[in-house]
């Protein structure tokens, strides 16, 4: 039952010992401080170890947010500043995109409804489409691009110029000041922005409908919200919260783990956007699936 | 400044048999180094010899593979996070490239560690402490500027001021004079001297600059190939037949 080398041994028992070693290492890594202090002790092959180390590092980074949730003080001024910044960053783009989506979606849905003589259903169709599906996703994707890349680049630049280490070494708790505040701000702001996107998209749609179908604003609103219930509302908010958490967490993680100087900063910003976009689509699918069970 | 006899002085930094490698790059291979209270130790060595790594291990930014580092009686690797934070308040670290926070003014930079660690301080107390340290690095006039508007030497001094504001017992300087003109270098050297005389701070000073080494150091430590090659006073270290140490000297003064 002695395992000879730190590779694949073929036997069942030694292998499970190796898995145990991995698990132990995993649990030890989980307990470590979140900043990477460059510990490198290899139990298995470099690749397998790297895989476990990465999982441990990522989960430690994410879970630490919830630890910090119960650890005042909360840096409210900095959170407010980040909220403001997120809003300013994305508002113009979101306004434009939302408005255009509203117009275009209305325009393109009309012919197929007109075939059934059902153009009066347009407001409610648009309401469902915008509020349940489009607004959360569009807001999240735009914010992944605008907010995610700016967080990734900002923290990445701070990492490569040793500013994060400087905070760490003066006991200024960089995670709380940089990550916690940004993630909290995003979790708070993305739902708000999502509501704003829906509003702007509905306005775009109303303009198009009022020109073609001559419906009053009151009727339009009444029709639009006819088919949207509280569960839909909660669902969209939950989606937006999850997306906000994802965007900011991914960006912070990529920023905190930037290496290789200025080139790495660009990579971190890029990776922040790409990774969070992937995750947003996967999460969208999962949340829709799960919400379906509650209906 | 003179160090008292070894029996009486307290050792504030005790490094024993320190090993550190990054993958196959074996950087430190058994470094031993002691720093007594109030002593200024200069560490010399070629680029890439692991000097920065050494002091990053001292303040817990990196952890060693083997060996022990004891700072103010605490084993840096094995203390918990809270204790490490407490220790870090007593250890100032001046970065090679200053590492000032770009998004904050000079004043906010210096107030930052203070406000994050001593929340009970009032605004006016923070202000007066910030202005005190700015005065001691003679840069009070730049307090509302951003780091991008400062010269390299000014950044260095602000970086030092930012660590001084926590009133550390130990200072670690990573190449305080690198990339500066001779006059700015002299200012920094004098600053380092003043700090250790005024506040009784013990320090490790990393440098390539022999003028800096001579003016600031009580003791010199020469690092080559990841180990301490020789140590002693300036004259003791450079009174040698070792080619590498000699060429180090010649490069600086000829
Ligand atoms: N975080 C790290 N990851 C991987 N390798 C590193 C890391 N930090 C340092 N090294 C390696 O350790 C070696 C020593 O680096 P270090 O920065 O300590 O040199 P130095 O003596 O301070 O040089 P300089 O005088 O140029 O600052 C280098 O070869 C470097 O590649
Ligand atoms: Mg260095």
Please give the share of chain A, as a percent, with pLDDT higher than 90. Answer: 47
- Count of C-beta atoms within a 10 Å radius of residue B25: 9
Q: Say if ligand 1 is within 6 A of residue B56 CB.
A: no
What is the pLDDT at residue A38? 53
pLDDT at A9 over 70: no
Q: Say if ligand 1 is within 6 A of residue A39 CB.
A: no
- Residue B159 belongs to some domain of the structure: no
d(CA B208, CA B20): 22
- Residue B57 belongs to some domain of the structure: yes
- Residue B139 belongs to some domain of the structure: no
d(CA B2, CA B38): 9
Average pLDDT over residues A87-100: 92
Chain A nearest-CA distance from B23, in A, is 8
Mean of the per-residue pLDDT values for chain A? Answer: 83
- Residue B121 belongs to some domain of the structure: no
DSSP letters along B123-184, please?
HHHHHHHHHHHHHHTT-GGGTTS-GGGS-HHHHHHHHHHHHHTT--SEEEEESTTTT--HHH
What is the pLDDT at residue A22? 60
- Count of C-beta atoms within a 10 Å radius of residue B57: 25
Q: Which domain holds residue B215?
A: 1-90+211-254
Please give the share of chain B, as a percent, with pLDDT higher than 90. Answer: 18
**Which pLDDT band holds residue A4 (cuts at 50, 70, 90)?**
very low
User: Between residues A45 and B37, which one has the greater pLDDT?
Assistant: B37
Q: Which residues pair with B34 in a beta bridge?
A: B14
**Which pLDDT band holds residue A144 (cuts at 50, 70, 90)?**
very high
Counting the structural domains of chain B, the total is 1
C-alpha A266 to ligand 1 mean position (Å) = 23
- Residue B41 belongs to some domain of the structure: yes
- In this prediction the pTM is 0.85
d(CA B170, CA B14): 13
Q: Where are the domains of chain A?
A: 2-69, 76-293
Q: What three-state secondary structure class fits B53? A: helix
pLDDT at B38 over 80: yes
**Which pLDDT band holds residue A8 (cuts at 50, 70, 90)?**
very low
- Predicted confidence (pLDDT) per residue in A146-169, tens digit: 999 999 999 999 999 999 999 999
What are the φ and ψ backbone dihedral angles of B111, each rounded to 5 degrees? -70, -25
Q: Cβ–Cβ of B99/A162 closer than 8 Å? A: yes
Length of chain B: 254
Question: Could you tell me if B82 lies within 8 Å of chain A, comparing CB atoms?
Answer: no
What is the pLDDT at residue A118? 79
- Residue B67's domain is classified under what CATH number? 3.40.50.300
d(CA A138, CA A130): 10
Average pLDDT over residues A169-181: 91
pLDDT at B162 over 80: yes
Size of interface A-B (CB pairs under 8 A): 77
**Which pLDDT band holds residue A128 (cuts at 50, 70, 90)?**
confident
- Residue B186 belongs to some domain of the structure: no
SS (H, E, C) B77-114: CCCCHHHHHHHHHHEEEECCCCCCCCCCCHHHHHHHHH
Of A187, A199, A223, the residue nearest A98 (C-alpha): A199
Q: Say if ligand 1 is within 6 A of residue B155 CB.
A: no
- Residue B154 belongs to some domain of the structure: no
d(CA B235, CA B22): 34
User: Between residues A183 and B77, which one has the greater pLDDT?
Assistant: A183
């Amino acid at each position: 039952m002695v395992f000879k080398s730190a590779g694949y041994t073929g036997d069942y028992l030694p292998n499970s010992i190796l898995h145990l070693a991995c698990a132990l290492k995993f649990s030890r890594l989980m307990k470590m401080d979140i900043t990477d202090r460059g510990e490198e002790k290899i139990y298995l092959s470099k690749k397998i170890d790297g895989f476990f180390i990465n999982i441990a590092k990522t989960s430690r980074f994410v879970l630490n947010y919830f630890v910090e949730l119960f650890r005042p003080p909360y840096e409210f001024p900095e959170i407010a500043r980040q909220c403001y910044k997120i809003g300013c960053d994305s508002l113009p783009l979101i306004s434009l995109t939302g408005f255009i989506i509203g117009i275009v979606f209305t325009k393109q849905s009309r012919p197929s409804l007109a075939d059934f003589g059902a153009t009066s259903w347009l407001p409610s169709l648009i309401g469902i489409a915008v509020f349940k599906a489009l607004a959360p996703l569009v807001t999240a994707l735009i914010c992944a691009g605008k907010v995610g890349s700016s967080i990734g680049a900002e923290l990445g630049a701070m990492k490569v110029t040793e500013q994060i280490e400087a905070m760490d070494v003066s006991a200024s708790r960089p995670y709380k000041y940089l990550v916690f505040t940004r993630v909290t701000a995003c979790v708070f702001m993305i739902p708000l922005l999502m509501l704003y996107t829906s509003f702007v998209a509905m306005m775009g749609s109303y303009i198009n409908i009022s020109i073609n179908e001559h419906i009053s604003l009151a009727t339009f609103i009444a029709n639009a919200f006819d088919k949207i219930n509280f569960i839909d509302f909660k669902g969209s908010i939950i989606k937006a919260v999850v997306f906000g958490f994802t965007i900011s967490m991914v960006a912070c993680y990529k920023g905190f783990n930037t290496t290789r100087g200025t080139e790495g900063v660009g990579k971190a910003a890029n990776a922040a956007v790409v990774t969070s976009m992937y995750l947003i689509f996967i999460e969208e699918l999962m949340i829709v699936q799960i919400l379906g069970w509650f209906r | 400044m003179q160090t008292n006899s070894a029996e009486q002085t307290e050792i504030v930094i005790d490094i024993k048999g320190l090993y550190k490698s990054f993958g196959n790059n074996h950087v430190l291979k058994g470094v031993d180094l002691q720093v007594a209270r109030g002593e200024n130790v200069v560490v010399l060595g070629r680029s890439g010899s692991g000097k920065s790594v050494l002091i990053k291990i001292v303040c817990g930014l990196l952890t060693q593979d083997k060996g022990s580092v004891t700072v103010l009686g605490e084993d840096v690797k094995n203390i918990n996070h809270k204790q490490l934070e407490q220790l870090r308040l007593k250890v100032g670290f001046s970065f090679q490239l200053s590492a000032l926070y770009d998004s904050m003014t000079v004043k906010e930079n210096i107030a930052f560690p203070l406000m994050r660690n001593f929340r009970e301080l009032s605004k006016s107390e923070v202000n007066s402490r910030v202005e005190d340290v700015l005065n001691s690095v003679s840069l009070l006039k730049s307090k509302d500027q951003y780091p991008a508007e400062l010269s390299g030497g000014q950044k260095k001094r602000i970086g030092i001021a930012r660590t001084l504001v926590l009133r550390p017992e130990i200072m670690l300087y990573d190449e305080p004079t690198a990339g500066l003109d001779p006059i700015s270098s002299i200012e920094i050297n004098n600053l380092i001297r003043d700090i250790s005389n005024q506040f009784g701070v013990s320090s490790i000073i990393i440098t390539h600059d022999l003028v800096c080494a001579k003016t600031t150091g009580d003791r010199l430590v020469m690092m080559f190939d990841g180990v301490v090659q020789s140590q002693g006073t300036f004259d003791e270290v450079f009174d040698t037949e070792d080619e590498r140490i000699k060429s180090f000297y010649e490069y600086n003064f000829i």
